[in-house]
Amino acid sequence: MKLKKAIITMLDLDLKGCMYLNHFSHSHTVAHFFKIISRLGNGLFWCLMLASLWVLEDKFYIEQLLYILISGSIGTAIYKILKQKTTRPRPYQVHQVVLLQEQPLDHFSFPSGHTLHAVMASIVMGYIQPMLLVLMLPFTFLVAISRMVLGLHYPSDVIVGALIGVLVATGIIFTAPLLNIVL
């Protein structure tokens, strides 16, 4: 009985957090700003950071680039499997008070793939070139917030996406030396 009550309380907090953040999107300016952040988080920003990484490192290693991209696809596989297994509807699909401000890239909500990739990329590229964290950390935070402001995710989707991003990034960093790859 306590577990059931705890789950209900968590889901209630999840909805309240989502509704609170989504309320900010009623401002056209705020909605537009977070749409831009979300779209940049689709990959363009991270491609620019990856290019900056190799410029700042003053070397271009195809092996490292391929390793990062292939390893990063593990994060994509994890979030796609979880989305298909959990089939959690997006907030705007369930609650009429949540406004959809941006079309989703896929159907289900849990976990947030944008947040997963933002956290993972920031950790891995920040490990390689800490100077990039000045841009990546604020952007990662904005990507995570954008997903809730735009009505696409609950806070728990974003939190779990971030945690998976941390785990995958840690795996990428610690596995590289075992494969004789210098990051």
Convert the pLDDT of each residue in 85-129 to its tens digit. 999 999 999 988 888 888 888 889 999 999 999 999 999 999 988
What does the alpha-carbon distance between residue 159 and residue 165 come to, in Å, rounded to a whole number? 10
CA distance 18 to 110: 13
pTM: 0.91
Hey, what domains does the chain have and what are their CATH numbers?
2-179 (1.20.144)
Find the farthest-apart pair of alpha carbons in the chain and give their distance in angstroms, rounded: 59
- What local confidence, expressed as pLDDT, does residue 183 receive? 78
Closest residue by Cα to residue 158 from 111, 122, 99, 102: 111
**pLDDT tens-digit profile of 134-182?**
999 999 999 999 999 999 999 999 999 999 999 999 999 999 999 888 8
